[in-house]
A and B are shown apart, each in its own frame.
Chain A
Amino acid sequence: MLTIKDLHASVEDKVILKGLNLTVKPGEVHAIMGPNGAGKSTLGYVLSGRDGYEVDSGKIEFDGRDMLGMEVDERAQAGLFLAFQYPVEIPGVSNMEFMKESVNAVRKERGEDPMTAAEFLKVAKAACQQVNLPLEFLKRGVNEGFSGGEKKRNEIMQMILLEPKLCILDESDSGLDIDALKVVANGVNSQRDGKRSFIVVTHYQRLLDFIEPDFVHILADGKIVKSGGPELAKEVEASGYAWLGEHQEASA
């Protein structure tokens, strides 16, 4: 599904990713944990193709295609989905219009007919219900005046509608209370069908109580310094990231 090889990337000439390797197979859930400033969010932006996030060297292959030559929208059409930590507010573009355009752009790439307004409304309503968002949110501007939790749920709703192959969740748990966290986690779990893959980026272990990962990786100073199973997340929870200091010195 996704193969990242020796990825080096920088933002405004500051090197952030320093030789990152990661392989995600269909159906797998990988958690990426790490301290602030390790490059967790940068990884999501680089994978999505955001302007200003320069890949200096290395390879990213997604679903058999070299992703580095692809535009942001092409990556999304190919089945990559990034759920943002801080989704942007776009007043004036309704959530409904936005998602319909989006779903139809992805369907077009998959060789499917565009959905009619009525067809779309039906699936959108179902997705709204699934993440506990009132239907009137579809009519509002994209994320306009949404609370932090509502924005996160809106991201998950988009994920459900777009049916991506690989979902990257960037700190989808930050700022959520336990109930909102469960809604987000349930939305994600409902999309685990054995084929769809997930990269769950998080600072805390909390989210992983609800979305059980197959693998846990610790990202520090631009690379993955330790990988393991779900038990690794619990270790981090117990001992924090302080031990990384020693590790980084040792590896330097």
Chain B
Amino acid sequence: MSQWLAQVIDRASTVDDWLNGPRQQALATLKEQSWPTRRTEAWRYTSLHALENLALPAAVSEDVSAPVVAGLDSIDLLFVNGELRTDIGAIAWPEGVRVSALNAADASMRDAAQAVFNMVKPERHLFGLVNDVLATEGVVIDIAAGASIEQPIRIINLATAGVESHHRVLVRLGDEAKATVIEHGSGSGASMNTSFAEYAIGKKAVLEHYRFALHGGAVIHMGGSHFRLDEAAKMNSTLVGYGSEVSRIDVDIHHAGEHAFAKFNAIYLLAPKEHFDLHSNIEHAVPNGTTEENARGIVGDKARAVFNGRIHIHRDAQKTLAELNNRNLLLSRGGYIATKPELEIYADDVQCAHGATVAEIDEKSLYYLQTRGIERSQALVMLNFGFIQELVSQMPNRALADWLAPQLRARFEAMESR
């Protein structure tokens, strides 16, 4: 066991709040965990060495204003190192939404929270358990059945240097409710943070979701977004990740009700020497579910990307349609990508496809661009970036797409020119 984890367990015993019940359970599970090594399958390609004897520098004050997204009319909740800086009470919330800080939840919000807390996220995630026992900060969002919330709710979490923080997001969408939630994380100073979100999506409810893990530098970021879909629920999620010292995100999508639909797109764009690890796990527990997953990444020099995409189709989950595609581009021979699609199918009447590729440029497309006078090197930039841009264009929110595209492009061009 690492010193750091021993310390987490010590600290957990001092946490005392209304979530004690599930926290104690998580703590018991956490104590049974062994610290991952290279032989631990889920951590095979991601070293936790940097965390073993974590010694963060002294905290420094940093600019903590929320990143502005032009044209995005969102309700913003700003957290700095997990601590809420926005006055939730001062916001004119649309009808049908109730929102509370995790540590200020009243009785009815506690009920909402308890219906979600650890009811969606599987207990196998080590840092999920850490978050379970330490995250006293965060937000609970409860959307009433049938409510359609037009304005996106953006949960911003800035990590500043020298701080370890743990942050939790709990969202319940009532039956036939509709909402957009954006988890927006950033920061690049030496820090350690965990950020886990759980979404319980009711019957015929529709969730539009974004997770931006725009960290960098010496940040150690461990996070997860976990979804449970009830009957005929729909979700459309886009994850955008930059790498950092170590970044790891786990996504779980659980089809708990029939005829649910999940679309999940992931983009990762790693500058030199960054590390990013995405594990996604789709559980088709019941028949007639659909999942479309597309993960695409570009990996810079000496950067390391890990993608593990599992689809698990249970014995009874007949008529499942599931597709998983992962494409990667290495910008130099010094880059590294470990990609592993995993299909486990126990039902016989399903349509399931998966594919993973590394560094394939379509020669026909390259030729076409060149016949229009575009130099080969420039054409390569356009095509390489184009394959990420394709997923950006699929984001339902135009303002977010327009904000993201030039940033990704600038990041990509800086990577190319090195």
Report A's interface with B, CB cutoff 8 A. 48, 50-51, 71-73, 75-77, 81-82, 84, 87-88, 90-94, 97-99, 101-102, 105-106, 109, 141-142, 158, 162
Contacts and interface: CB of A to CB of B under 8 A. Distances in A.
Contact of A101 (B382, B390, B393): B382
Interface stretch (B227-235, B283-291, B372-380): B372-380
Contact of B372 (A71, A94, A158): A158
A106 B375 CA distance: 10
Interface in B370-405: 370-376, 378-379, 382-383, 385-390, 393
A72 B365 contact: no
A97 B362 CA distance: 18
Contacts of B393: 92, 141
Contact of A72 (B367, B383, B385, B386): B367
Contacts of B362: 88
Contacts of B363: 51
Contacts of A90: 365, 368-369, 383, 386
A84 B368 contact: yes
A91 B374 contact: no
A90, A99, A109, most chain B CB atoms within 10 A: A90
Contacts, number: 80
B367 A50 contact: yes
B364 interface: yes
Contacts of A51: 363, 367
B371 A101 contact: no
B382 A93 contact: yes
Contacts of A50: 367
B378 A71 contact: no
B386 A91 contact: yes
Given A72-B371, A73-B373, A88-B364, A98 B390 contact: no
B373 A77 contact: yes
A59 to B, nearest CB: 21
A33 to B, nearest CB: 23
Nearest to B386: A92
Given A73-B373, A73-B374, A105-B373, A91 B390 contact: yes
A92 B372 CA distance: 17
A72 B382 contact: no
B364 A73 contact: no
Contacts of A75: 371
7 contacts: A71-B370, A73-B370, A73-B371, A90-B368, A92-B390, A93-B383, A101-B382
Contact of B390 (A73, A106, A141): A141
A240 to B, nearest CB: 32
Contacts of A72: 367, 370-371, 376
B387 A92 contact: yes
B382 A73 contact: no
B368, B371, B378, B386, most chain A CB atoms within 10 A: B371
B46 to A, nearest CB: 28
A73 B375 contact: yes
Contacts of A105: 372-375, 378
A82 B364 CA distance: 14
Contacts of B368: 84, 87-88, 90, 142
Contacts of A141: 386, 390, 393
Given A90-B386, A92-B388, A92-B389, A101 B378 contact: yes
B368, B369, B370, B373, most chain A CB atoms within 10 A: B373
Contacts of B387: 92
B364, B365, B374, B378, most chain A CB atoms within 10 A: B374
Contacts of B372: 76, 98-99, 102, 105, 158, 162
A90 B363 CA distance: 11
B374 A101 contact: yes
Given A90-B369, A141-B390, 7 more contacts: A72-B370, A72-B371, A87-B368, A92-B385, A93-B383, A105-B374, A106-B373
A102 B367 CA distance: 13
B388 A102 contact: no
List 6 tightest A-B contacts by C-beta distance, closest first.
A92-B386, A92-B390, A76-B373, A72-B370, A102-B372, A93-B386
Contacts of B364: 88
Contacts of A102: 369, 372-374
A63 to B, nearest CB: 15
Interface in B126-181: none
A157 B372 CA distance: 12
Contacts of A71: 370, 376
